[in-house]
Amino acid sequence: MDFRVNARSKKPVDYTVYLTDKIEGKEGYLGYTDYNKKIVVIEDSIPAKKMIETASHEFMHVWLEENGYDQNKLFNVEELCDIVAKSTFFVHELTIDFINSY
């Protein structure tokens, strides 16, 4: 499946979403994002609800990375509120587009 994610950051970057039967080398993972390769990989053998949750989760990683957030730090309440406020529409709209194209 060829689905493109535009990160809508200051310098827009496209990611490609790939579906796979099983994620090799990452046991227990249902999806992952590779920032260097600009890809999102999602296991497609999971129930629809879990796929929606996984896609939303991975799209949030894309948004955080491309908008300059350090994903290795803990955010305080004010930072968290800013992140949610700025990213909610992006993640929601993108997830709906992804599921509709699936």
For the chain, give every domain's residue range.
3-101
21-44 tens-digit pLDDT = 888 877 789 999 999 999 999 999
Does pLDDT of 86 surpass 80? yes
H or E element at residue 32 = strand 31-34
Which among 45, 97, 40, 46 has a CA at the least distance from the CA of 64? 40
51 neighbors 42 (Cβ within 8 angstroms):
yes
Out of 8-17, 60-69, 84-93, pick the least confident. Answer: 8-17
Going by C-alpha positions, the residue among 91, 69, 65, 89 that lies closest to residue 80 is 69
58-84 mean pLDDT: 94
In CATH terms, 3-101 corresponds, of 3.30.2010, 3.30.70, 3.40.50, 1.10.3470, to 3.30.2010
Find, among 54, 34, 35, the residue nearest to 44 by Cα: 54
6-31 mean pLDDT: 82
